[in-house]
Amino acid sequence: MAKMAKYKETLLNEFEARDDDWSFGDFDRRISELKKDANYQDSKMAIIEAHKVGGWPNTIKRYLLTNYRSFGNVNIELHTVFNSMCDSLTDEEKAHWGINI
């Protein structure tokens, strides 16, 4: 597996350490601060890569849940990661976030 870009690792570490009510939008904005030409597509790839590596579980979960809450779904690229993450949610968490799968 290819090594993850340093800016993505920095971003994931930063958000894994946070304990506030951040959303996917905060993550998307921060990635563009860390790398000038980065955007939400890079954010999605960072989440997918983090899932493949098996790290940053809180960041993956919060990114996906806040994205889902905002749009009622997640982008097709994130479906596999989202479904995997949902398997670990309790019924109460699913109800809280409005997930009906």
Distance CA 23, CA 58 (A): 12
- Tokens matching residue 40: 């939400």
pLDDT along the chain (101 residues), means of 10: 85 98 97 95 97 96 96 94 95 92 66
Around Cβ 32, how many Cβ atoms within 10 Å?
14
Residue ranges in 18-100 assigned as alpha helix (H)? 24-34, 40-53, 57-71, 79-87, 91-97
Distance CA 68, CA 93 (A): 13
Q: For the whole model, what pTM was predicted?
A: 0.93
Q: What percent of the chain has pLDDT over 90?
A: 94
